[in-house]
Amino acid sequence: MESKIESINKSKNELLLLIQAFDERLKVCLDKINDNHKNHKEFINFIELMKLYEIYKWSALKTDYNIIKKEVTKNKKDYKKITKNYGNLISYFDPSIIDNLNNQIKKLGQLNDDIFYNFIELKKVHHNVQNQCKYFIQNDQITKIDLITEDLKPLIQKFYENYIDMMIINNKSNSLKSIKTNILNDIKKLSNLNKV
C-alpha cells in the first residue's frame, strides 16, 4: 500500500514538473517562431534592397525553421501526454488545487494552439521565401555568396552598414511623407472651413 502511495506521489510530482517545464518551453518556442518569422522578412528585404543573396544565411534560416518544426511537433505530443497523465491522476490531487491545475492545463492548451497557428503562418512565409530564393539564384541582377571568406568579411560589413543607413533613410522618408500628408489634410480642412 505504501509503495502505491509513493508511486502515485512520484507520478504527481513528475506531472507538476512536466507542466512547469512545458510552460517554459512553449514560451521559448513562441519567441523562436516570432524571431524566425522576422528573420525571414529581413532576409528578403535585404536581398531586394541590396541585391545580395547570402546563400549560407538561407541555410541557417532553414535549419532554424526545421528545429522549430520539430519542437512544434514535440509540443503537440507532450501536451497530449500531460492531459493523459492528468486524467489518470486527477482523482489523487487535493480538490483545492484541481481548479488551479485545470486552468493551468487549459492555458497550456491555448498557448500550444497559438504556437501552432503562428507556426502555420511561419510555414507560409518560409515557403514563399523558398520560392523567392529559387528566383534569386536564377537572377543575374543579384550577387550570390556561398560563404564568407576573410577577404569578404570587411566588404560585407561595409555592405551591412550601407543597408542600415538605407533603412534609416527609408524610415525617415516614410515619416516625412506621413507628415506631408497630415499637413495637406489640415490645409484642406481649413480651406473647406473658410469656404463656408
Contact 76, 115 (CB under 8 A): no
Specify the pLDDT at position 60.
Answer: 95
Collect all residues with Cβ–Cβ distance below 8 Å to 177 and sequence separation of at least 6. none
Beta strands in the chain (DSSP E): 52-54, 143-145
Residue-wise pLDDT for 60-115, tens only, equals 999 999 999 999 999 999 999 999 999 998 888 888 889 899 999 999 999 999 99
What length is written for the chain?
Answer: 196
Phi, psi of 32, deg, nearest 5: -65, -40
Cα 89 to Cα 4: distance, rounded to the nearest angstrom: 13
pTM for this prediction: 0.80
Q: How confident is the model at residue 196 (pLDDT cuts 50, 70, 90)?
A: low
Residue 149 CB: number of other CB atoms within 10 A?
Answer: 10
Tell me the pLDDT of the chain averaged across its residues: 91
User: Which three cell numbers mark 172?
Assistant: 525617415
Q: How confident is the model at residue 171 (pLDDT cuts 50, 70, 90)?
A: confident
β-bridge mates for residue 145, sequence order: 54
Please report, for residues 52, 56, 65, the alpha-carbon distance to residue 146 in angstroms, rounded to integers and kept in the order given.
Answer: 11, 6, 20
1: pLDDT strictly greater than 80: no
Specify the pLDDT at position 5.
Answer: 81
Quick one: average pLDDT of 47-58? 93
Q: How confident is the model at residue 141 (pLDDT cuts 50, 70, 90)?
A: very high
Give Cα 174 to chain centroid, integer Å: 26
Long-range contacts of 136-139 (CB under 8 A, 24+ apart): 136/47, 136/53, 137/53
